[in-house]
Structure 1
């Protein structure tokens, strides 16, 4: 998963980053609220870990801005020195999903992050997942369309499954390159970017993701892609 962490304490920020990376997540760090807000307007993340006290804005103010301006419901965890009941109430009322008091305990942080991601991106049946006529068999990494196997490369399978799991959500190009290709600092242009475009085009063609068939895989200029299920063939069978 792709996580953004915000804290003006360099040591705390490094601890959060190392903890999240140790449990398999890509962590992007920010020391100011304005910088995070700018990034959120052009990039996408799966989880936000926020401090409360910042030099330019408060944590609750950032959360309220996120809930008012971003369409996707990103899970948010406060990690802060604030510990009074009224602080917890204010943070959750602003739109945060969980609240953790410093000093950071690595095991607790990892557990809270796992719990938030599990709730937000639940996978109720890990062996396979189906959307209408599309059936993804995870163990064999096989896609079936109306019961017939479809030949996909590993990257095409991963990309198709990721798109279905994130239907309706804007996903940035960097997010896709980090998640599917494992490139932590992908360039804006060049070979990796062209490879992404090629894979998107192939997945769209092979799976028949066209508005006439009830699907739209759209490129959002300057931002990334959005996959949408338009017709009735969008039931998630688990």
Structure 2
């Protein structure tokens, strides 16, 4: 029998040897395994086409909407098999994804966009208002722009709106796909600083897929690197950040030093 303590210590999210295809023909993931602990920021790193977005869509059970399917392995969120749960139910249970591309309802105001995030959980007007004020506390710029049409705000403000809308659903696991894409460095820093505050102050667990490994590794606790649909490396973010060989071969930074690579380095940096 599982004790309450061990249940709390169990990872909030587990991917167990997940393989995924599109149209039953194109293999996108090849036995990806990773776990995200409660209260952790986990970065999912890799080049464009490495499988990051497919992994996140497998986590949120969004693959079937794009003719994708998990063909082997399982994804478990808080002990439940994701593939057996609808995306809407996953949101209600606390798994909320912010898709790549800063998706907003462009004709709605910023505040109206945020309030749509509370619709799925049948919150009262008072609860929604309290959550709205909390979002404004983390993103003061959104309060300034709350009456503006989302489509007329900057890229950074649209990304903040998309994240704020997800926060209105009261996530336990926030899943973000390339939040830095197309944004100025100062805006990216601001967004990641806010994510870190949410993690530290609210205990929010975060899984973030990023091509910008430099910024992701500064704010994450741990990281998993994907290459050609495989998880080729994982370890503490601080260790990955410090290893010149890893930065060169897996993150595209610096000059490779082949003698520094561990023999058969394909799984863990620990």
TM-score by length of 1: 0.31
Q: RCO (CA 8 Å, sep 6+): is it higher in 1 or 2?
A: 2
